Amino acid sequence: MATLEINYNNLRENAKQLLKSGKQIIAVVKNNAYNMDLVDSIRSFHSVGINYFATTNIKEAILIRETLGQKVDIFLLNATTEFSIAKKYNIEINIPSLKYLQENYSNLNDIKLHLEFAGSMRRAGARNIKEVLEIIEFCQKNKLKLKAFWSHFAFADEFDGNYEKEKELLLDTYAKAKQVHNFEVVHFQNSASYFRDGVFEEVTHIRPGILLYGAYPYNIKNNDYKIKDFVPYHSFKVTAEIVNIVNLKQGECIGYSNAFVASRDIDVAVVNIGYGDGILRSRLTGKTCLIHGKEYKIFATMMSHIVIEADGDISIGDEVVIYSEKLPMYNYTKYCGANSEQMAVLNKNSLEVKKIGI
């Protein structure tokens, strides 16, 4: 059976490295902790000293509180009108706009608020310094608990000049905002910004996502980075096994719709994993896997199987590695999308899940 192995020892090691930054950490654990299981992930992070968590889902925020109690802070990244729940579970919430405050301020007493600057993401938040100052003034006038200032870089993993522009705008905006309000928490550095620049002196916290789960946030072979001593520990391993070896004659095909046609007489191996198990086609077809530490080409991809090259060194029952420390997800980002995209689709209903370090 194909297997997903999640290594929580590695999650803890990544967290320890981030804590060396000298700043506090807000761990992004949205979408079931990037599909690595929320409860086990937050327990692992908390065990090494992370006491602040962020998610986009209020159900996840409740689960964090129920799991770790009142000893942690929780920030709900998405806007919400579930004010009674936020109060009950002591969940900090986001301010998406001045209009949101004006329409809901009577429900916001005793809830800690984060002022978002929209920046280049523009998903929510104040669009300019005028709106920032209006939100601050409104909070002060109505005695609302404005705790934090935050934003998110849209271009931190791009090297086309846009990151420098958005960074300059954000830092200038914050410099003006802090003149009129004392923010207890300031967080706008994601994994890529931190890895690229180190810690900004302006922030109280960094807010990493993918670094916690063991991936470089961009291609470090082609782009510079400041955090030279950070070596990500891959958080998961995906393996399968060879279930058949087939001899193909020249011109014979295997798989759906001539997925692979033999250009010569050749042996191929059939492996019991496919896109139905949550492995992206773009990660599989035309790429490689590992057997006994050796790379083998993947010729075709099906819902529950892949077809790979075979030689005299492999046999039915051999383990086939799709993801591991030697085949990390960030090696495939340029082929099949973000690291988080590769993690999010892993199918725990069809893969056998094994957990290490819990």
Q: Can you tell me the distance from the alpha carbon of 270 to that of 316, in angstroms, rounded to the nearest whole number?
A: 9
Q: Which of 88, 256, 294, 335 is catalytic?
A: 256
SS3 letters across the chain: CCEEEEEHHHHHHHHHHHHCCCCEECEECHHHHHHCCHHHHHHHHHHCCCCEEEECCHHHHHHHHHHHHHHCEEEECCCCCCHHHHHHCCCEEEECCHHHHHHHHHHCCCCEEEEEECCCCCCCCECCHHHHHHHHHHHHHCCCEEEEEECCCCCCCCCCCHHHHHHHHHHHHHHHHCCCCCCCEEECCCHHHHHHHCCCCCCCEECCCHHHHCCCCCCCCCCCCCCCCCCCCCCEEEEEEEEEEEEECCCCEECHHHCEECCCCEEEEEECCCHHHCCCHHHHCCCEEEECCEEEEEEEECCCCEEEECCCCCCCCCEEEEECCCCCHHHHHHHHCCHHHHHHCCCCCCCEEEEECC
CA proximity to 301, closest of 262, 257, 344, 342? 257
Annotated catalytic, 8?
no
Annotated catalytic, 256?
yes
Could you give the residue numbers annotated as active site? 30, 256
